[in-house]
Structure 1
Amino acid sequence: MRLLTFLTPLLALLPIALSADQQHWANLSSKSKDGVIKLDTESYREILSDDREYSVSVVLTALPAQFKCQPCHDFDPSFHQVAASWKRKPRHVRDNHFFAKLDFQDGQAIYQELGLTSAPTVMFHPALSGPNKSNKLSVITYEMNRNGLTAPPLHSFLSNLTPEPFSFYKPINPVHLVAIPMSLFAIVVSLYSMRRVLIPLIQSRLIWGTFSIILILTFTSGHMWNKIKNAPYVAAGPNGQISWIAGGYSNQLGLESQVVGGIYGLLAFSIIALTVLIPAQSSPVKQRIGVYLWLGMLIIVFSLLMKLFRMKNGGYPFGLLF
């Protein structure tokens, strides 16, 4: 009596013997790489027999090229991925539910019987007898239009219907595990081999100064405002003419910001020339000519900038040469 009491829980853990037809589908599923059984008209009717003790998830699709069903090709990897996730369950569990696929060219009669005019379509057929029979005896169709063609929504839908919930498994791509470290190693080696060239460039005040000026001009000219507001490059004027200046201080066009950036760049370079380049000249004559030249450039360009402000807003009171 004590021995029987001890063995009862262990006997409950042993897999229950499968019926002949269920064992047949279990063998076909185990031979498939991801557990998907390929059906035709006859096997479709056989796997969905009225006395089945197992449930079935069937995708009705049209993969051959002559049918031109792009959603079928997009959804097919998702269905196989979910089926492969279910196949990771223990055999005594996964043999109570099968994933199957019926292509249109292999089962046109089934499509006509079901009245299907589009693909892909996923249907869950519950068990009709045996220990897995539940109160859900009607076929449940997956809402493809609302859930889309990706695998996670399909997994969430089927995991609530299968005999046991199952986790979604996404295989790891070994190429990334090898390619990324090798790429990083190659970059490090390349940078190390070019250190004699790169270190002087990194320490160059000229390069960092030029980069800083370009960055400052990009932001002060209004480039980020154009990106945020999606401002047009030019606009049509009242007479059909192309206008590159937007009236008012709260509007701006793409070409206008480029012109302003160019003006700011000339002004910045004029100041740099007056403070750095001209004092570096050894000849007093060259220094004098340079001062006159770049000071004149500074005044002219700044006058153009003020004129641009007056063109944007007629009430701007200041001006210089123009």
Structure 2
Amino acid sequence: MRFLTLLAPLFALLPIGLAAHAEHWSALASKARDGVIKLDSESYEDILALDREYSVSVVLTALPAQFKCQPCHDFDPSFHQVAASWKRQPRHIRDKHFFAKLDFQDGQAIYQQLGLTSAPTVMFHPALAGPNRNNKLSVVTYELNRNGLTAPPLHSWLNNLTPAHFSFYKPVNPLHYIGIPIAVIAMGVSLFSLRKLLVPLVQSRIVWGTASIILILTFTSGHMWNKIKNAPYVAAGPNGKISWIAGGYQNQLGLESQVVGGIYGLLAFSIIALSVFIPNQSSPVKQRIGVYLWLAMLIVVFSLLIKLFRMKNGGYPFALLF
């Protein structure tokens, strides 16, 4: 009985010691910009003391250049972003969970102890004492291979483990709010200064007619079908030869659509030449020669178009010159 009386002051000091232990990590987390505590082998063992009343998320990484760990560099901003989101919590909640980082260079003994051969690795260590203790929960490892290296999946995973739920915070980049208005103003000033050059172009029938024809040829040649179906540019034909025409009307290749677009373009230009350019010729001889040439061009190109249809489908019954 007397022995217990002598030990009573020691038991009274135990909670104070635990509180001081948590205060130490709380101070380090508060000083860190993102709330991530940098560890070494000794502090790793210390922060994971068996009497801890807080939980810890630790990332074991290898950031120095000599380790050539690209996933470590890709994942490090994500871990810091989630840690910064937790740091926005009130202090009485924030001090129940800490984010820490142990680099291979500073904790090779811990890597050997855990048997780790790859990085990065994220482990959640639950509280082992106090009101946040959960007897059913043990150390949980984050599955990076399945969840990836981005921050949102890591936040979703930790949000179900931390003592309190917390929102994912993504800092606002003020450059967008500054750069976009400046760019719009600069563009407006540039357009206004070039108005004498741009206004005639906008009002030009030739410009609008050319743009309309290009758009029409693009859509009628099957370009959008290629984008939607992700059609290959060419395909392997018989005997290993390259084929640029797909058999049947339900299939098409990228080069094929370009050839069809070019043929449609020649046909359109032939009609424009016959209806616009030829009548503007003052000489009857030039008009007659122009009509013969462009009519010949129209017939030959149209014959090539029909020939292409016959190549796609041997059952096509029509032909002109070829």
> Normalised by the shorter chain, which TM-score bucket?
0.7 to 0.9
| 1:256 CA displacement | 3.2
- Note if contact 1:58-1:99 (Cα within 8 Å) is conserved in structure 2: yes
Q: Deviations over 1:103-141 (max 9, x none)?
A: 112111112222222221112222222233233452222
Q: Match for 1:36: what amino acid?
A: V
Alignment partners' CA distance in 2, 1:146 and 1:314 = 50
Report the equivalent of 1:113: 113
Change (3 A) 1:213 1:139: same
| 1:83 CA displacement | 1.0
Report the equivalent of 2:157: 157
Alignment of 1:32 onto 2:32: yes
- Note if contact 1:128-1:137 (Cα within 8 Å) is conserved in structure 2: no
What runs of 5+ residues in structure 2 fail to find an aligned partner?
1-15
| 1:278 CA displacement | 1.7
Alignment partners' CA distance in 1, 2:29 and 2:90 = 13
Q: Match for 1:155: what amino acid?
A: H
- Note if contact 2:60-2:104 (Cα within 8 Å) is conserved in structure 1: yes
- Which stretch shows the higher mean deviation, 211-220 or 296-305? 296-305
Q: Match for 2:194: what amino acid?
A: M
SS in structure 2 of the partner of residue 57 of structure 1? strand
- Which stretch shows the higher mean deviation, 43-52 or 224-233? 224-233
Report the equivalent of 1:63: 63
Q: Match for 1:47: what amino acid?
A: I
TM-score where L is the length of structure 2: 0.86
Alignment partners' CA distance in 2, 1:103 and 1:220 = 59
What aligned pairs does 1:136-155 form with structure 2 within 5 A after superposition?
136-155=136-155
What aligned pairs does 1:16-55 form with structure 2 within 5 A after superposition?
19-55=19-55
- Root mean square deviation, CA, Å: 2.3
Report the equivalent of 2:90: 90
SS in structure 2 of the partner of residue 278 of structure 1? helix
Report the equivalent of 2:292: 292
Report the equivalent of 1:305: 305
Report the equivalent of 2:264: 264
Report the equivalent of 1:78: 78
| 1:87 CA displacement | 1.0
Change (3 A) 1:250 1:152: closer
Report the equivalent of 2:274: 274
| 1:64 CA displacement | 1.3
- Which stretch shows the higher mean deviation, 246-255 or 91-100? 246-255
- Note if contact 2:18-2:52 (Cα within 8 Å) is conserved in structure 1: no
Report the equivalent of 2:225: 225
SS in structure 1 of the partner of residue 58 of structure 2? strand
Q: Match for 1:288: what amino acid?
A: R
Change (3 A) 1:254 1:36: closer
Alignment partners' CA distance in 2, 1:25 and 1:81 = 19
Alignment partners' CA distance in 2, 1:236 and 1:97 = 60
Change (3 A) 1:242 1:33: closer
Alignment partners' CA distance in 1, 2:137 and 2:315 = 79
TM-score where L is the length of structure 1: 0.86
| 1:200 CA displacement | 0.9
What runs of 5+ residues in structure 1 fail to find an aligned partner?
1-15
| 1:193 CA displacement | 1.1
Q: Deviations over 1:244-265 (max 9, x none)?
A: 4444434444333333222222
Alignment partners' CA distance in 2, 1:284 and 1:256 = 40
SS in structure 2 of the partner of residue 169 of structure 1? coil
| 1:290 CA displacement | 2.2
Change (3 A) 1:39 1:249: closer
Alignment of 1:104 onto 2:104: yes
SS in structure 2 of the partner of residue 291 of structure 1? helix
- Note if contact 1:306-1:320 (Cα within 8 Å) is conserved in structure 2: yes
Change (3 A) 1:255 1:161: closer
Q: Match for 1:271: what amino acid?
A: I
- Note if contact 1:126-1:136 (Cα within 8 Å) is conserved in structure 2: no
- Note if contact 2:56-2:125 (Cα within 8 Å) is conserved in structure 1: yes
- Which stretch shows the higher mean deviation, 173-182 or 229-238? 229-238
SS in structure 2 of the partner of residue 22 of structure 1? helix
| 1:84 CA displacement | 0.9
Change (3 A) 1:146 1:208: same
| 1:187 CA displacement | 1.0
Change (3 A) 1:255 1:164: closer
SS in structure 2 of the partner of residue 106 of structure 1? coil
- Note if contact 2:159-2:166 (Cα within 8 Å) is conserved in structure 1: yes
SS in structure 2 of the partner of residue 317 of structure 1? coil
> In the comparison of the two structures, how many residue pairs are matched?
307
Alignment partners' CA distance in 1, 2:169 and 2:237 = 59
